[in-house]
Amino acid sequence: MKLIQRNIFVFVIVILFFAMPFFFASCKQESKAVVDFRYNKDSVPSMSTDSVDMLISDSGLIRYRMLAKIWNVFDQAKDPYWHFPKGLYLEQFDTTFNIVVTVKADTAWNYERRKLWRLKGHVFVRNTLGETFSGDELFWNQQQQKIYSEKPVEIDRPAKALIIAEGFTSNQEMTEYEFSRVHKSKVYVEENKESQEADKQEKAE
């Protein structure tokens, strides 16, 4: 009986001896798989959402409405940002919830820490006066409360002027602005009724 138990014990030891290398090898492979599971936090989003329609508050007041097909959040990046690769539509409200500015762009980035927006591709902005701004790129610095661009931009002021310039700076309501280099401009002149009637009389005579 003792001989049988001893043989069984020896047999178990032999099996363990040959099995241990395979066991450790599998453990190493599992450990390696865990260690190699890495991703680039600057290029891989920590969250991705589609069909976005949300309201954003500032100092306790709802100030913006944001619509986007895709919203990618990179909050683990060195410079945390939001990315809207399929376009962005943004509305800005005043304190009484009236729309003061609307913004459209093909692509947009929002750098959270710097409070800086970058809009790219078919950028279109309309202010509360009905004036429109069209261009390829636009930056919005919320800390400095200004909007600016170094790229060509077209400003249409209904019944007043059409301006094509390269580079401009504006307040964030887009009601006060200045240009770096004006390439072309058209000014619409509205004649008063008295001058129009005088012209008609001269032509009649």
Q: What is the per-residue pLDDT across 187-196, written as a single tens digit (0 to 9) for each?
A: 665 555 454 5
Token pair 């306790």 is at which residue? 60
Q: Does 63 fall in a domain?
A: yes
- Whether residue 57 sits in one domain with residue 126: yes
Residue 116 contacts residue 145 (beta carbons within 8 Å): no
- Whether residue 101 sits in one domain with residue 19: no
- Whether residue 182 sits in one domain with residue 89: yes
What is the CATH number for 113?
2.60.450.10
- Whether residue 96 sits in one domain with residue 161: yes
pLDDT of 202 over the 80 cut:
no
Q: What is the per-residue pLDDT across 129-156, written as a single tens digit (0 to 9) for each?
A: 999 999 999 999 999 999 999 999 999 9
Question: CA torsion, points 65, 59, 45, 103, in degrees to nearest 10?
Answer: 30
Arithmetic mean of pLDDT, 94-98: 89
- Whether residue 120 sits in one domain with residue 165: yes
- Whether residue 51 sits in one domain with residue 32: no
Q: Does 58 fall in a domain?
A: yes
Q: What is the pLDDT of residue 181?
A: 85
Q: What is the per-residue pLDDT across 158-199, written as a single tens digit (0 to 9) for each?
A: 878 888 888 889 998 888 888 888 876 666 655 554 545 545
pTM: 0.69
**What gap in Å lies between CA 138 and CA 22, rounded to an integer?**
60
Q: Does 96 fall in a domain?
A: yes
Please report which confidence band the pLDDT of residue 118 belongs to, taking 50, 70 and 90 as the band edges. very high
- Whether residue 104 sits in one domain with residue 172: yes
Q: Which residue has the higher pLDDT, 79 or 24?
A: 79
Q: Say which residues have a Cβ less than 8 Å from residue 152's Cβ, sequence separation at least 6.
A: 135, 136, 164, 165, 166, 183
- Cβ burial of 139 (10 Å; 0-12, 13-18, 19+) is middle
Q: Mapping DSSP to helix (H, G, I), strand (E, B) and coil, where does residue 171 land?
A: strand
Query: What is the residue type of 86?
Result: K
Q: Does 195 fall in a domain?
A: no
Q: Does 205 fall in a domain?
A: no
- Whether residue 71 sits in one domain with residue 4: no
**What gap in Å lies between CA 53 and CA 84, rounded to an integer?**
13
Q: What is the per-residue pLDDT across 35-65, written as a single tens digit (0 to 9) for each?
A: 555 678 888 899 999 999 999 888 888 989 9
- Whether residue 60 sits in one domain with residue 11: no
- Whether residue 60 sits in one domain with residue 26: no
Distances (CA, A) of 181 to 162, 170, 184: 14, 14, 9
Q: Does 194 fall in a domain?
A: no
Q: Does 124 fall in a domain?
A: yes
- Whether residue 108 sits in one domain with residue 166: yes
Q: What is the pLDDT of residue 59?
A: 80
Whole domain around residue 138: which residue ranges?
47-187
Q: What is the pLDDT of residue 121?
A: 98
pLDDT of 80 over the 90 cut:
yes
Q: What is the pLDDT of residue 195?
A: 47
Q: What percent of the chain has pLDDT over 90?
A: 48
Q: Does 201 fall in a domain?
A: no
- Whether residue 34 sits in one domain with residue 80: no
Token pair 């279109």 is at which residue? 124
Please report which confidence band the pLDDT of residue 4 belongs to, taking 50, 70 and 90 as the band edges. very low
Number of domains forming the structure of the chain: 2
